[in-house]
């Protein structure tokens, strides 16, 4: 019998409970979400603009907040998987990728799968925010953030080298975070209906963290790195390189992924056969 993993929970933005069932698929089929058996490939071409999360769409079907699950799959080296979801959003769970990793660890190699190499620097930037892919002998990721008005966060830089530390302990436990005085603003726009102190760290300008303790002193930067991995997972596998981001977000991350996808010589074939087939219908 085929082994399956099922997790259920509330979506951060919709506030709806959905059930996600994962099943491994044949090598080369890629990562594909399904709504009622209709595929939505986890691919850069399926990205739809959205605030505060990464959304994939194909035809009338959408799935929001895919990034933490995709980060877990990339970080563990699980490249071929069918992901059935019963609603429009992937559950936030505890705000990190840890609950996924606990279920999925036995399926993967524990490391992102590398195919191809970055041969020249490629970057996308907006003001002082950027994300770049640089040539490197080793696969590694670096993320910097700066919140001068929130002293509890401040300036943080983190680097993850998959060869040296497993995703499961270095990145997966880092939870999403929010700024206390922006919560009302996002809620007024119909977002973060499922957010709570149980599934997101919340930081206040004066009072600092409202729901400590943190899992890492630099948990916010590690979570941003987790988000970057989830968005780079839209390439399937990764070309070897140094992925470096500063004050970026999902839009810049997915723009870099799209740029990498189109650059001949920087990305080799990505083992997304089935995803490509379904993309032809876009």
Position 227 contacts Zn ion (CB under 5 A):
yes
In the complex, minimum distance from the CB of residue 95 to Zn ion, in angstroms, rounded to a whole number: 8
Given 13, 68, 250, 253, which residue is catalytic? 250
Smaller CB separation from Zn ion, 176 or 254: 176
Smaller CB separation from Zn ion, 200 or 270: 200
Position 237 contacts Zn ion (CB under 5 A):
no
Smaller CB separation from Zn ion, 71 or 152: 71
Of 173-202, binders to Zn ion (CB under 5 A) are 176
Cis amide linkage into residue 8, ω under 30° from 0: no
In the complex, minimum distance from the CB of residue 205 to Zn ion, in angstroms, rounded to a whole number: 21
Stretch that binds Zn ion, among 37-45, 69-77, 151-159, 220-228 (CB under 5 A): 220-228
Contacts with Zn ion: how many residues (CB under 5 A)?
Answer: 2
For the question of residue 242 being annotated catalytic, the response is: no
Smaller CB separation from Zn ion, 176 or 237: 176
HEC readout, the chain: CCCEEEEEEECCCCCCEEEEEEEECCCCCCEEEEECCEEEECCHHHEECCCCCCEEEECCEEEECCHHHHHHHHHHCCCCEEEEECCCECCCCCCCCHHHHHHHHHHCCCCCCEEEECCCCEEEEECCEEEEEECCCCCEEEEEEEECCCCCCEEEEEEECCCCCCHHHHCCCCCCEEEHHHHHHHHHCCCCCCCCCCCCEEEECCCEECCCCCCCCCHHHHHHHHHHHHHHHHHCCEEECEEEEECCCHHHHHHHHHHHHHCECCECCCCCHHHHHHHCCC
Stretch that binds Zn ion, among 97-105, 108-116, 141-149, 168-176 (CB under 5 A): 168-176
Position 142 contacts Zn ion (CB under 5 A):
no
In the complex, minimum distance from the CB of residue 96 to Zn ion, in angstroms, rounded to a whole number: 8
In the complex, minimum distance from the CB of residue 230 to Zn ion, in angstroms, rounded to a whole number: 7
The 51-90 contact track toward Zn ion, x by CB under 5 A, reads ----------------------------------------
Stretch that binds Zn ion, among 97-105, 160-168, 171-179, 255-263 (CB under 5 A): 171-179
- Residue 36: partners with Cβ closer than 8 Å, 6 or more residues away: none
Residues taking part in catalysis:
250
Contacts to Zn ion by CB under 5 A: 176, 227
């Amino acid at each position: 019998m085929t082994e399956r993993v099922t997790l259920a929970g509330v979506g951060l933005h919709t506030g709806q409970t959905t059930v996600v069932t994962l099943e491994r698929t044949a090598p080369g089929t890629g990562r594909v979400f399904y709504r009622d058996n209709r595929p939505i490939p986890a691919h850069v071409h399926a990205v739809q603009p959205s605030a505060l999360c990464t959304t994939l769409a194909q035809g009338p079907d959408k799935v929001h907040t895919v990034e933490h699950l995709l980060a877990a799959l990339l970080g563990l080296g699980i490249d071929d998987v069918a992901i059935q979801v019963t609603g429009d959003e992937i559950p936030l769970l505890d705000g990190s990728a840890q609950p996924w990793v606990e279920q999925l660890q036995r399926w993967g190699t524990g490391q992102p799968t590398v195919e191809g190499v970055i041969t020249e620097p490629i970057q996308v930037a907006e003001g002082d925010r950027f994300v770049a892919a640089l040539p490197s002998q080793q696969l590694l990721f670096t993320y910097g953030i700066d919140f001068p008005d929130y002293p509890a966060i401040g300036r943080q830089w983190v680097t993850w080298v998959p060869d040296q530390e497993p995703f499961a302990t270095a990145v997966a436990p880092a939870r999403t975070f929010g700024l206390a005085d922006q919560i009302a603003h996002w809620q007024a726009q119909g977002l973060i209906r499922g957010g709570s102190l149980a599934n997101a760290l919340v930081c206040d300008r004066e009072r600092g963290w409202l729901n400590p303790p943190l899992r890492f002193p630099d948990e916010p930067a590690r979570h941003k790195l987790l988000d970057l991995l989830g968005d780079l997972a839209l390439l399937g596998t990764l070309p070897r390189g140094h992925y470096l981001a500063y004050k970026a977000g999902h839009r810049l991350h997915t723009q870099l992924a799209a740029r990498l996808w189109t650059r001949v010589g920087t990305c080799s074939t990505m083992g997304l056969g089935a995803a490509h087939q379904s993309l032809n219908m876009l």
